[in-house]
Amino acid sequence: MKNLLTFIWRDWRGGELSILVFSVILATATVTSISLFTNRIQNSIQQEAAEFLAADVQVRSSMNIPDEWFEDANELNLQSAQIQSFRAMAFAKDAMQLATVKAVSNSYPLKGTLTIAENPADEGQIVSNGPAAGEAWIVARLMAALDIKTGDTVTIGDADLTVTSVLIKEPDSPQTFFGVAPRIMIHQSDVPRTGAVQVGSRVNYALLLAGENKQLDAFKTLHQDDFGNHFRWTTPQQGSQSLDQALQRAEKFLLLAGSLSVILCGVAIALAARRYATRQTTNVALLKTFGQSPNQIAKRYLAVLFVVASITLSLGFLSGWGLHILLLTLLADLLPANLAAANYSAYGVGALAGSVALFSFALPPLLALRKVPPAKVLREDSEDALISARLSAVIGFFSILLLVAIFSRDLAITAIVTVGCLVTIFGVGFLGWLTLQLGNLVASSLGQSWRLGLANLQRHQQVNALQIMIFASLFMLLFVLIASRTSLIGQWQSQLPTHSPNVFVFNIFNHEKAQIEEQLVANKIDHQPFYPMMRGRVIEVNGESITPRIEQTASHMNYERELNLTWAKNLGDDNKVTDGHWHDAESESLEVSAEADYAQGLGLVVGDKLTFSITAQEFTATLTSIRSVQWDSMNPNFFMIFNQPVLDDAATNWLTSFYLPPDKKAVLNQLTAAFPTISLIELDQMIAQIQGIISQVSMAIEFILLLVLAAGTLVLITSIQSTLDIRMQESAILRALGAPKRLVIRTLLVEFGCLGGMAGLLGAIAAEAALYGLQTRVFSLDYAPNSMLILIGPIMGALLVGMVGWLSTRSVVATPPLQVLRQLS
Amino acid sequence: MIKTEQLQHQVPVTDGVLTILKGINLSIKRGESIAIVGASGSGKSTLLGMLAGLDTPSSGKILLDGTEITQLDEEKRSAVRSKLVSFVFQNFQLLSSLNALENVMLPLEVANHPQAKQQAIEFLGRVGLAERHTHFPRQLSGGEQQRVALARAFASQAPILFADEPTGNLDTVTGGKVADLLFAMNKEAGTTLVLVTHDRALAQRCTRQYLMTAGELAELDT
């Protein structure tokens, strides 16, 4: 052991191990920090998203939740709460108003907080539980409608309740237009007193659960058979379609960035390991002349690898942990105060990635050292017996893909990254050959440094091909990351501009439409178009009841509930026809367009005849198109859009939305006073929450991009270092033969610049291929080819590689040639 | 000490087979010093590598201290080398990451010598480099590097020393001094010396001389 440590110490002192050691430390640190940081952000996002449900999971049903389910939750150490929602008339003094009653248990909410106030104009205080028995909390609008204040009595059904607070904010505020009448929150023990819930009453029940994922999964498994029928398992993502797409994209990006950092670090380790192994061949031959056997050699290097692994992985882990703390400190103002803890698995990802990369790349060439012939000490041209670069690359390629698959747990990301890498690998041969041939053709007409530089490129074709492949992969990954980040953040910013609509007004009768419009204009409020809206449900497909389809569907959607339906001549900007064709303006028959997920869940295809039940009347329409809808656009969107009015204007309700600045909130009271039957939803909280999450994630993405760029630079430097010896030797010989310094520098610049240019072009082509897959398959965004990339890629590649190459080799011209040759011999 | 029988070595080339050694028969007694001279490419270094067990011939036998090494696998040949053989090379073959002392210690450490450091210091002293023991190869001149290599070769106290052009990379004066040291230490240690050189003057300091011509070995009349 002492001998081994001495051996390692000497190698370290001699600089042989330093690049490998630094590569593993940096790789492990980068992946660890990215993994911890992204995991904590992801968990925090989940946590914040959970507030939209007031729980980690809601089990929703139109049936009462069985008592034993609460006992099961208790046994699994899950927190639980219950909500019952129903509509009832609220009476106060002489006024009455239809309201949605939300009856909650003691422990509600499990996630998030409630905000209540004594008066509607007050700022409010945060509380962590709902009203006590006998109390009612009422939203300001309903209080105004009923003309009551705190301390007054409100009657719901048969129960008299004291209004103790104004309900300002509830975590799981309604986010759909369904059944939104002004809200009253009461304690669930008061429900029987109201007498509003009878057999046959329409009541929505929800069991709220919070706890560890493992326990939640166990609960889900326990009642698996009930889900899909009368009970729906709803996670935060399913709970809010608007937030869902934004979160999914953010998570995918973080996973993509992490996966790319794994690849970059793997490549850096691969290069460093190969360089180390190559430089050890003469040493091994010498050790063999001293009598060291092949098995002893193998054991020695295996032991070196284990010692290096344990030291570097530990240091890498600690540095990664420290880096993520630094990251959190730097971003403290932008991140939530109580960032969620990381999962245990996130701690191990960096060390796992580092060790897989180290062993898969370093072990084969190091074990191959046992085959180095001892006669190499006599003849430098003896066969090296090092494992071939191709075999090594194949082993490493599959190891890294395995790591990406483990890290991302996403088949699409793994497949797309694989395709991108393959385009790079196979493209390099052709492009490299083409460029060298062109170089040959024009070399004679170029200057001396160009001739020498191109000759160098040609002389080391194999090494250069490998290097172009590495650089091109590196550029591809960076281009992909930068382009994805730009389009994601751009997309978010464009979908949620500062003045996104924050108020939705609906249940507007036909005769009220013009007056409301006038009132909005008078108050200088820009509103969105008025959409006609009616409620109805699909009851038959091609003349057959949809019940069998509902029983068979794997979708979580509630197909039995009423949908918001509309009609429109034009397709909205945030809608895209994925099958069939948009409404024919000339068509006189009734046509309908369905939202893609809804259609898929029911197994609908273009051409189906759908029968709708709308206000007790039946209408049959032909399904002419299926649309994807960008739900996170915050614009009004509909599952079904007809091509013409289905009902008479008199029976139609209208919907509009607008941005209301904080100082014009009084307009809402004017509207509700003038049009008491209209319904309003204020989305300020939700928009603020989404914008908050997006700004956090955008920040995280930018910082992670910087980390990955740092890893990329490491690869670049390592790769150049790995071929430094041969370049230094040639440059020293050139100088010894009388070449001026300037010529040597220019030759190196030409060589590295051409390498970088070719790699940049190839990387840009491969990035376009990968971006197409990522945008369309992973991020669900439109793909727009980025023609500038093809131009910028080669220029950036040439400049970057040329600069790093020159910086790495500038010592060649600063050191006397004899000294260089001596060092290399 | 060293004996070969009908030693033959061929390597495949693009247009057939190239015969490098053609039926070499050689016998070297313990303590004897022999020189092999010949033009570049005549097969001198190949023969030296074969005799030292660094490479295996296509056919024929090599006996080192009575052990037939051509039939041994690499593991066993390594054990034989560890026990019987030491080397001096034309390009010194010092590890650049090790200082002079560590370079001398290296074969002793490989053989698990209990007092590697003391032994190495002693031999560095014998070649006159005790004061330079912390210096790295890049800090030493060519002559000094070869003296370190001599210290390394003799410190292992192997009974056979193979020297491949030991003065080939040195100027005449320095080469002469290194040669003096080599023969003096060899005499003192009683080592069997196999010297490959194209320096006839150096070769003449050995007890016997052979001429290698196109893979054939002929003893020169001394």
CB contact under 8 A, A289 and B87: yes
From chain A, pick out residues whose CB is under 8 angstroms from the CB of B54: 288-289, 373-375, 377-378
The 8-class DSSP code of residue B97 comes to: T
From chain A, pick out residues whose CB is under 8 angstroms from the CB of B164: 378
A383 touches chain B (CB under 8 A): no
3-state secondary structure of A586: coil
Minimal Cα distance from A280: which residue of B? Answer: B95
CB contact under 8 A, A292 and B78: yes
Same domain membership, residue A266 and residue A202: no
Instruction: Supply the pLDDT for residue A823.
Output: 60
3-state secondary structure of A195: coil
A261: in domain: yes
A749: in domain: no
CB contact under 8 A, B81 and A290: yes
**Least confident segment among A297-301, A725-729, B15-19, B131-135:** A725-729
- What is the span of the domain harbouring residue A523? 503-682
- pLDDT tens track for B147-190: 999 999 999 889 999 999 888 888 888 888 888 988 988 888 88
3-state secondary structure of A683: coil
Instruction: Supply the pLDDT for residue A821.
Output: 61
Q: Output the CA torsion sign for A251, A254, A260, A263.
A: negative
A518: in domain: yes
Partners of A679 in the β-ladder: A506
Minimal Cα distance from B155: which residue of A? Answer: A290
Give the minimum alpha-carbon distance from A719 to chain B in angstroms, rounded to a whole number: 22
Average pLDDT of the segment spanning A38-60: 77
Mutation site for B-interface testing, chosen from A16, A289, A728 by largest number of B Cβ within 10 Å: A289
Nearest to B81 among A14, A291, A823 (CB): A291
Percent of chain B with pLDDT over 90: 37
A553: in domain: yes
Domain boundaries defined on chain B: 2-219
Nearest to B55 among A292, A373, A822 (CB): A373
Instruction: Supply the pLDDT for residue A334.
Output: 63
3-state secondary structure of A158: coil
pLDDT above 90 (res A314): yes
Instruction: Supply the pLDDT for residue A56.
Output: 86
From chain A, pick out residues whose CB is under 8 angstroms from the CB of B95: 14, 283, 286
Instruction: Supply the pLDDT for residue A179.
Output: 40
From chain A, pick out residues whose CB is under 8 angstroms from the CB of B98: 10, 14
Same domain membership, residue A663 and residue A567: yes
Query: Does residue A791 or residue A141 have the better pLDDT?
Result: A791
**Least confident segment among A210-224, A257-271, A286-300, B157-171:** A257-271
pLDDT above 90 (res A134): yes
Same domain membership, residue A62 and residue A9: no
Average pLDDT of the segment spanning B73-88: 87
Nearest to A293 among B78, B98, B107 (CB): B78
From chain A, pick out residues whose CB is under 8 angstroms from the CB of B156: 290
Instruction: Supply the pLDDT for residue A361.
Output: 80
Average pLDDT of the segment spanning A181-187: 82
CATH topology of domain B2-219: Rossmann fold (3.40.50)
Across chain B, the runs of DSSP E, i.e. the strands, are 2-13, 16-28, 33-38, 59-64, 67-68, 85-88, 160-164, 192-196, 208-213, 216-219
The 8-class DSSP code of residue A340 comes to: P
A798: in domain: no
Give the minimum alpha-carbon distance from B82 to chain A in angstroms, rounded to a whole number: 4
pLDDT above 90 (res A719): no
Nearest to A378 among B49, B109, B156 (CB): B49
A6 touches chain B (CB under 8 A): yes
Q: With CA atoms as reference, report the closest residue to A556 among A602, A612, A595.
A: A602
B interface with A, Cβ–Cβ < 8 A, is 45, 48-49, 52, 54-55, 74-75, 78-83, 85, 87, 89, 91, 93, 95-98, 102, 106-107, 109-111, 138, 156, 164
Average pLDDT of the segment spanning A614-632: 85
CB contact under 8 A, B93 and A11: no
Same domain membership, residue A672 and residue A528: yes
Give the minimum alpha-carbon distance from A398 to chain B in angstroms, rounded to a whole number: 33
Instruction: Supply the pLDDT for residue A175.
Output: 45
Residue at token pair 């009734």: A590
d(CA A101, CA A90): 9
Minimal Cα distance from A819: which residue of B? Answer: B138
Last residue of a domain, one of A682, A698, A727: A682
Give the minimum alpha-carbon distance from B124 to chain A in angstroms, rounded to a whole number: 18
Average pLDDT of the segment spanning A22-36: 82
- pLDDT tens track for A642-651: 988 877 665 6
**Least confident segment among A30-44, A559-573, A727-741:** A727-741
Same domain membership, residue A182 and residue A76: yes
| Contact call for residues B1 and B32 (beta carbons, < 8 A) | yes
Last residue of a domain, one of A234, A261, A288: A234
Q: With CA atoms as reference, report the closest residue to A415 among A712, A769, A701.
A: A769
A823 touches chain B (CB under 8 A): yes
d(CA A394, CA A751): 27
d(CA A749, CA A448): 13
Minimal Cα distance from B149: which residue of A? Answer: A286
pTM over 0.80: no
From chain A, pick out residues whose CB is under 8 angstroms from the CB of B87: 289, 377
Same domain membership, residue A93 and residue A113: yes
CB contact under 8 A, B107 and A291: yes
A417: in domain: no
Last residue of a domain, one of A623, A652, A682: A682
Instruction: Please list, residue by residue across B30-53, b when 16 or more beta carbons sit within 10 angstroms of its beta carbon and e when fewer do.
Output: eebbbbbbbeeebbbbbbbbbbbb
Instruction: Supply the pLDDT for residue A649.
Output: 62
Same domain membership, residue A667 and residue A519: yes
CB contact under 8 A, B97 and A13: yes
Give chain A's largest Cα–Cα span.
Answer: 110
- pLDDT tens track for A759-806: 888 888 888 888 888 777 777 677 777 778 888 889 988 998 888 887
Would you mind telling me the total number of residues written for chain B in this entry?
222
Give the minimum alpha-carbon distance from B99 to chain A in angstroms, rounded to a whole number: 9
Instruction: Supply the pLDDT for residue A177.
Output: 38
Cα torsion A633, A636, A640, A644 to 10°: value is -130
- pLDDT tens track for A332-382: 766 666 777 888 888 888 888 888 888 888 888 888 888 888 887 776 655
Percent of chain B with pLDDT over 70: 100
Instruction: Supply the pLDDT for residue A656.
Output: 86
Q: What's the whole-number average pLDDT of chain B? A: 89
Minimal Cα distance from B76: which residue of A? Answer: A293
d(CA B194, CA B48): 8
From chain A, pick out residues whose CB is under 8 angstroms from the CB of B109: 3, 6
Q: Judged by CB atoms within 8 Å, which residues 394-433 of A form the interface with B?
A: none
Instruction: Supply the pLDDT for residue B120.
Output: 93
Instruction: Supply the pLDDT for residue A99.
Output: 81
**Interstrand relation of A653-658 and A617-629 (parallel, antiparallel or unpaired):** unpaired
Same domain membership, residue A184 and residue A37: no
Same domain membership, residue A155 and residue A58: yes
A2 touches chain B (CB under 8 A): no
Give the minimum alpha-carbon distance from A304 to chain B in angstroms, rounded to a whole number: 16
Same domain membership, residue A117 and residue A103: yes
From chain B, pick out residues whose CB is under 8 angstroms from the CB of A292: 78, 82, 110
A822 touches chain B (CB under 8 A): yes
From the CA atom positions of chain A, what is the Rg in Å?
34
pLDDT above 60 (res A174): no
Instruction: Supply the pLDDT for residue A181.
Output: 57
| Contact call for residues B75 and B150 (beta carbons, < 8 A) | no
A373 touches chain B (CB under 8 A): yes
Average pLDDT of the segment spanning A130-143: 89
The 8-class DSSP code of residue A775 comes to: I
CB contact under 8 A, B89 and A377: yes
Q: What's the whole-number average pLDDT of chain A? A: 79
- pLDDT tens track for A422-453: 777 777 667 767 766 776 677 666 777 777 77
Instruction: Supply the pLDDT for residue B211.
Output: 92
d(CA A526, CA A143): 28
Instruction: Supply the pLDDT for residue A176.
Output: 42
Number of CB pairs < 8 Å for A and B?
Answer: 82
CB contact under 8 A, A294 and B75: yes
Same domain membership, residue A158 and residue A48: no
A47: in domain: yes
- pLDDT tens track for A384-412: 555 566 677 777 778 878 877 877 777 88
CB contact under 8 A, B82 and A290: yes
A298 touches chain B (CB under 8 A): no
A93 touches chain B (CB under 8 A): no
- pLDDT tens track for A214-230: 888 899 888 877 776 66
Give the minimum alpha-carbon distance from B49 to chain A in angstroms, rounded to a whole number: 6
A377 touches chain B (CB under 8 A): yes
From chain A, pick out residues whose CB is under 8 angstroms from the CB of B74: 293-294
Average pLDDT of the segment spanning A28-48: 78
How many distinct structural domains can be found in chain A?
3
Same domain membership, residue A274 and residue A166: no
**Least confident segment among A96-105, A233-242, B195-204:** A233-242
Give the minimum alpha-carbon distance from A470 to chain B in angstroms, rounded to a whole number: 29
